[in-house]
Amino acid sequence: MTTTRKFSILEMGSPRYVLARKRAIPMSVYLGVALSHVAEGQIEWACSSYDGSEFDTHEDVFMTNSALPKVSQLEKLNDAIIRTVRDYANSHNYRIQAVCIGCDEQTAKVVADHPELKDPIRSMCTRFWFDLDAVPCIYTLRGVSLTEEAASAARKVYDWFTPQFPGSIPRIAVDPETNEVLVDMDGHCHMVDLKHFEETTDKPTWDKLLQLADECKQRKLKILFFNSTPQGGGVALMRHATIRLMRLLGVDCRWFVAKPNPDVFVITKRKFHNVFQGVTSDEQYRLCQEDKDLWIEWCEQNFDSYWAKGKGVVESADVIIMDDPQVSAIIPRIRALNPAARIIYRSHIEIRADLASVPGSMQHDLWDFLWSGFISKSDMFISHPVAGFIPPRVPHTRVALIPAATDELDGLNKKMSPADLEYYRRVFNRVAEDQGSPGIDAERPYVIQIARFDPAKGIPDVIEAYRAFREQLTNSGMEDDQQPQLVLCGHGSIDDPDGIVVYEQVLQLLSQPEYCDYAKDVCVARLPASDQLLCSLLRGSFCALQLSHREGFEVKVTESLAKYKPVIAYRSGGIPLQIEDGKTGILVERGNTNGVADALFRLYTDTNYYQDFVNELRTKEQDSKRQRYFTPFQSVNWLYLATQLAYKGNDEAVAKNQPTGEIDGTYMGDGQIRQWNARYICDYWQETIKN
């Protein structure tokens, strides 16, 4: 590994050189770093880069200072490695996507004899994540030489990732025996430590988290999450973050998913999700008996294949959380196999309770089917904090509230350098170009909506509001090249068949005469699985839109506000709970695209008005309020529920207290919002802090 410039054949400052450096996307490489403690006062290390075809290796010796503690020596070694690797990447126009760090057996024994050295080694990993935006992994290395070990590590980390996706997250690993999601390559990826979570959390919340984690460990509680897919959508994002923190805390918490079936996903997306949200009234999406049979068969086959008796999953669990209805048909199987387990049903979507209360409606019949046969067998119903989201017949005694969360330290939210932002802008432009869409102009600001291409996300409204906004700017005398672009993008999900359909509809809409004049400034892209790509796009934006017609609790609003971007959004679902109108964002009535255009116009043309929002979002008060939407705070909610619900060692008593049949709900039944006395889970544990 050398530091010779890759472009040294071009004269510095020449037009060819400048053009190449301005437009080129750095080449992705994957690093292996091997350490060897060969003698007192000397540490050998080797680094090998791999691009999928060639290795480039660097060897070095770090001379330690015997006057310093071993921990300080390792910290200085970290500095040396990070500095060398950064210089190498910059000089060659490389982008380090991931790094695997390991040591030989002799060095492992030194670390075992000095436990205080573990933290500096883990710190090396987190520095790669925060300083170089490279996903770090830890692995045990074997080889006849240090360079061979480094090359093996580079090849290993290359195999763990998806090289064609710049800034990618690790390949999603699932245990073939149980379909357990092996988050962060079963713990090999190490991006953050507990200290990083602690730094972003207020002390009372952090102390409560540690207290509850200790209680779970002492009682040996086992917590399971179930849902349909390990990637794509807010549920999967939350579960990756939750398991990552639980692993650091030492809590026995695991996550399982179903084997995908495209035919079933058409049912669960279009006949469950879309119907519940009321975004379709087409009778072809009414659930029929054939749909019910196929869905139940799929759920039961998954249970029998992966989680039944003898699999070591359900029968040993204390608390089980079912995320959304996709796999809820396994609830009776869980109840039969482990009657002592406490089952929590977590509803993440906006369920139109008003429609579900009307006999004969699609929503009523769907909810009657899911509730009576499956969801009613759970012990608790966790909802977003909106009264109208809780459907009929769910008794208040079983309802509690938890909003959706995001993670402040993962690729979606971590801080990024200007070089990182520029890299991901170029990556986005390459993806957009490949899809026949214009890219982002570095010289112009842009407005953004990040969301799945979904019927409920209001994307046609975004385009119409942007057209009206641009028309206002033109009428005010502003030149086109001074007006902002619009970015519409998002990830896909394997359980969402609507993504491609809605994406194509957006492209067709932009080809209509009324939008042709502005289509060249609308960047539309379905993006690969890259969290940092979405993060950088939000950080580079002028402001964010969220014009969802139906929404549970949109984490993209939280993520935008956390990046100090004012959000213009519809008063839909849980969004009004996330935005303080006139302080952190602007709320507009659903469907009022002219109101959105007016809000955009004032934000863009009135600098002081815009800066007032940014200043408010940067206050400590707003930072404190946002904490309840981040992983540590939400983990306290889950651990509090687990410790309160689980009755370890009292199976017979618990079994007698399970629901046995229909329980009358308290929904008013006339289309009005139900009587409302549900409480946030955090209200309970925060009371214990005060007391």
What is the SS3 assignment for 257? strand
Residue that wins the pLDDT comparison between 611 and 157: 611
**206 shares a domain with 264:** yes
Task: Calculate mean pLDDT across residues 366-386.
Answer: 94
**435 shares a domain with 312:** no
Q: Render pLDDT for 503-521 as a digit per residue (tens, 0 to 9).
A: 999 999 999 999 999 999 9
Task: Please check whether residue 504 lies inside any domain of the structure.
Answer: yes
HEC string for 518-561: HHCCEEEEECCCCHHHHHHHHHCCCEEEECCCCCCCCHHHHHHH
Q: With contact defined as beta carbons under 8 Å apart, do 126 and 99 qualify?
A: no
Average pLDDT, the chain: 87
- 495 has a pLDDT exceeding 80: no
Residue-by-residue DSSP string for 589-647:
-TT-HHHHHHHHHHHHH-HHHHHHHHHHHTSHHHHHHHGGGBHHHHHHHHHHHHHHH--
Q: Which of 256-260, 609-613, 684-688 has the lowest mean pLDDT?
A: 684-688
**125 shares a domain with 36:** yes
Q: Render pLDDT for 402-438 as a digit per residue (tens, 0 to 9).
A: 999 999 999 999 999 999 999 999 999 999 999 999 9
**161 shares a domain with 32:** yes
**99 shares a domain with 86:** yes
Predicted local confidence at residue 6, as pLDDT: 47
**163 shares a domain with 217:** no
Task: Calculate mean pLDDT across residues 456-478.
Answer: 96
**280 shares a domain with 217:** yes
Q: With contact defined as beta carbons under 8 Å apart, do 44 and 147 qualify?
A: no
Task: Please check whether residue 187 lies inside any domain of the structure.
Answer: no
Q: Render pLDDT for 530-573 as a digit per residue (tens, 0 to 9).
A: 889 999 999 999 999 999 998 888 899 999 999 999 999 999 88
**129 shares a domain with 56:** yes
What is the SS3 assignment for 382? strand
Q: Render pLDDT for 18-47 as a digit per residue (tens, 0 to 9).
A: 555 566 788 889 999 988 876 666 788 899
Predicted local confidence at residue 354, as pLDDT: 86
**376 shares a domain with 441:** no
Of 101, 136, 169, which closes a domain?
A: 169
Domain count, the chain: 3
Q: With contact defined as beta carbons under 8 Å apart, do 29 and 57 qualify?
A: no
Q: Render pLDDT for 612-626 as a digit per residue (tens, 0 to 9).
A: 999 999 999 999 999
CA distance 420 to 418: 5
Predicted local confidence at residue 19, as pLDDT: 53
Q: Render pLDDT for 240-278 as a digit per residue (tens, 0 to 9).
A: 999 999 999 999 999 999 999 999 999 999 999 989 988
**218 shares a domain with 155:** no
Q: Render pLDDT for 123-182 as a digit per residue (tens, 0 to 9).
A: 888 999 999 999 999 888 877 888 999 999 999 889 888 665 665 677 888 999 999 999
Residue that wins the pLDDT comparison between 116 and 256: 256
Residue-by-residue DSSP string for 288-356:
-HHHHHHHHHHHHHHIIIIISTTSSSGGG-SEEEEESGGGGGGHHHHHHH-TT-EEEEE--S---HHHH
Predicted local confidence at residue 663, as pLDDT: 31
**155 shares a domain with 39:** yes
Comparing CA positions, the residue from 558, 560, 600, 592 lying closest to residue 578 is 558
Percent of the chain past pLDDT 90, that is, above it, reads: 63
Percent of the chain past pLDDT 70, that is, above it, reads: 87
Per the structure, the complete domain to which residue 295 belongs is given by: 192-405+632-690
**124 shares a domain with 19:** yes
Q: Which of 100-114, 300-314, 336-350 has the lowest mean pLDDT?
A: 100-114
Predicted local confidence at residue 442, as pLDDT: 92
